Amino acid sequence: MYAIVRAGGRQEKVAVGDVIELDRIAGQVGDAVSLKVLLLVEDGKITTDAATLSSSTVTGELVDHHRGPKIDILRYKNKTGYRRRQGHRSELSTVKITKISAGK
């Protein structure tokens, strides 16, 4: 069984035991996290019904908070002397999926 969940503005395919990186989630390490289910696949049967999915849950455990790799943003315009350098590091959380329950 696996599910497609909405997490941090993106969609992730998850199964029990998977470890995924998401945008920073509020909470302490060890806390339980619930994710919104968009699609559920169980034994080849695909569930997209909104009523069934609203009662379905994907639960995970918050494993770690960390920062992503440094991204360098460089801008340059020829012959004008314009140069600009900027950096960015995303705040991330690691989540381990512990349970997927299908609503009936």
pLDDT in tens, 54-96: 889 999 999 999 999 999 999 999 999 999 999 999 999 999 9
Q: What is the pLDDT of residue 30?
A: 93
For the chain, the structural domain boundaries read 2-101
**24-65: pLDDT as tens digits:** 999 999 999 999 999 999 888 888 888 888 889 999 999 999
Burial class (CB within 10 angstroms; exposed 0-12, middle 13-18, buried 19+) of 84:
exposed
Q: Which string of DSSP letters, residue by residue, matches 58-84? A: EEEEEEEEEE---EEEEEEETTTTEEE
pLDDT at position 2: 93
31 alpha-carbon distance from chain centroid: 16
Distance between CA atoms of residues 58 and 38, nearest Å: 10
Q: In the chain, pLDDT over 70 holds for what percent of residues? A: 100
Q: What confidence score (pLDDT) does residue 102 get?
A: 86
